[in-house]
Amino acid sequence: MADPLPPESMYRSKEGLGVWEHKGKVAAVGVGHSPTTRRWDGTPENTVGAWAIIAMRKAIEDAGITGDQVDGIVLDTTTTTGAHWPAGRPIPEDVVNAFKPTDDPLDGIAKLSGQWLINNMPELTNVKFTMVGPGCMSAAIVVAAQAIGDGLAHTCLVVKGWHNLDGRYYQGGANAEPTISGPAKWSNWAGPASYGTAQQFQRYMWKYGKSHDAMAPFMINSRENGLRFPEGYWYQHRPEHLTVEDYVNARWVAKPANLFDNDIPIMSTAAYLFTTADRAKDMKQKPVYILNHASDRTRSRSIVPTLEECEAATFETGRKLYEGAGISAADLSFENMYDGFSLFHTFHLEGLRFAGIQPGEALDYYASEDISIHGPNPISPSGGNVGSGRTRFWMHTDSIQQIQGRAGERQMTKPALIGVSGGPMPTGGNYTVWSSDPNP
């Protein structure tokens, strides 16, 4: 049986809802990561399913509980955006049979389900609730937070896995077909995934009189933070520093988005242990309380959202986050929004008015202020996707660990009291406010 999708009522997608009814009553405690690599090697022990089990067990252990205390799982069942199983490729039966499979032979190889995870984790004897957080870890987090607040579960694993098969990314699926039918024919042009963001940023540069090269301080900071993230791809496999010359001279992928503005596809999995605030007090790690979550439901009038639609969405998201958490932009200790394409981090930053940054000012702020973990207003201390590889979860792990004081070399100098993370896109994303105090 398929894991159910959340009803729209579980998302906080409108303004005017007031303070979240579960503010400070849900907490993240445990964090678990699998290994990280560039691509799947074809072995059972390195499938996305096997790595999800590793991450989930680490999160359980990190929280200091046992598997039988877990009563819920929220996950994103999709495990790629561009490395789909090729049509006609035989499914390796030895890999399928190395586990307790479901009816779908690709389950655990090129997708995940709650049932597959339960089948292969015998310690999960009391799971009564499973649900999909569709799209990415940002969605799974807000669904899990709302589910725990609503009493659908009390101790929940939140899981996101990524697989990456051999071959070129975004060359399979609809992009491999000679023609495309259905609604996708209006939006899928078989071009670089960053082309929409590049169009928005081109308009941004024209509107505010900026240049692409002004992104360099942000990019260098992100790579440096990524090189402090032990689970990340660049840290583990290519510990290479990025220079201004590297960045500004890189080839275009979709001008003005260059090679480094696009995250590198990798394979990895992460899991978090969420629970009620009351239960969290007795667990191993410091609780990180969720003050609010918010989602955007912007519907563009065109194939690609315009810059103005993108800005309106991020401005509204900022207002919703602060309203529901009962805080203001001035209360944020750090900003950890998603940057799969680095350019739209600028939109997120201005939408939040982080550090007082107004529309059109983010690039100047990168150049004139200390945005590092040692500065007064750390920006993307996780390094994000551009600093550690495409997963859509580094920023959440970092937010939890910063507030717990467990970020290691990434630990910011100033006290990490309240932070915000989320994504993936400036339009259509899901976002969370984290805090060291349930009622700051």
pLDDT digits (tens, 9 = 90+) for 380-425: 999 999 999 999 999 999 999 999 999 999 999 999 999 999 999 8
Is the backbone peptide bond immediately before 424 cis, with ω within 30 degrees of 0? Answer: yes
Q: Is the pLDDT of residue 211 over 90?
A: yes
Separation between Cα atoms, residue 126 and residue 399, nearest integer Å: 29
Separation between Cα atoms, residue 361 and residue 344, nearest integer Å: 14
Secondary structure tally for the chain: helices H, strands E: 14, 11
What is the pLDDT averaged over residues 332-339?
97
For position 168, what pLDDT does the model report? 79
Question: Is residue 308 classed as helix, strand or coil in its secondary structure?
Answer: helix
Q: Name the percent of the chain lying above pLDDT 70.
A: 96
Separation between Cα atoms, residue 432 and residue 440, nearest integer Å: 15
Domain ranges, ordered by start, for the chain: 8-169+266-280
pTM as predicted: 0.96
Which residues, in sequence order, are bridge partners of residue 425? none
Q: Is 34 exposed, middle or buried (0-12, 13-18, 19+ CB in 10 A)?
A: buried
Q: Residue 293's closest CA among 427, 159, 423, 380?
A: 423
Check: CB of residue 226 under 8 Å from CB of residue 387: yes
Is domain 8-169+266-280 annotated with CATH 3.90.550.10? no
Q: Is the pLDDT of residue 93 over 60?
A: yes
Q: pLDDT category, 188, cuts 50, 70, 90?
A: low
Q: Is the pLDDT of residue 312 over 60?
A: yes
Q: Is the pLDDT of residue 190 over 60?
A: no
Separation between Cα atoms, residue 113 and residue 107, nearest integer Å: 7
For position 185, what pLDDT does the model report? 63
Dihedrals φ, ψ of 434, to 5°?
A: -110, 150
* Residue pointed to by tokens 């996707």: 385
For position 300, what pLDDT does the model report? 80
Chain segment 17-44, per-residue pLDDT in tens = 999 999 999 999 999 999 999 999 999 9
What is the pLDDT averaged over residues 334-346?
94
* Residue pointed to by tokens 């439901």: 297
Q: Mean of the per-residue pLDDT values for the chain?
A: 95
Dihedrals φ, ψ of 214, to 5°?
A: -70, -10
DSSP state of 379: B
Chain segment 70-91, per-residue pLDDT in tens = 999 999 999 999 899 998 899 9
Find the range with the poorest average confidence among 243-247, 301-305, 371-375.
301-305
Helices (H), 120-274: 137-149, 195-208, 216-226, 233-237, 244-248
Which tokens hold the place of 273? 């242990």
- CB burial of 413-422 (b: ≥16 within 10 Å; e: otherwise) equals eeebbbbbbb
Chain segment 360-370, per-residue pLDDT in tens = 999 999 999 99
Q: pLDDT category, 173, cuts 50, 70, 90?
A: low
What is the pLDDT averaged over residues 224-244?
98
Question: Is residue 423 classed as helix, strand or coil in its secondary structure?
Answer: strand
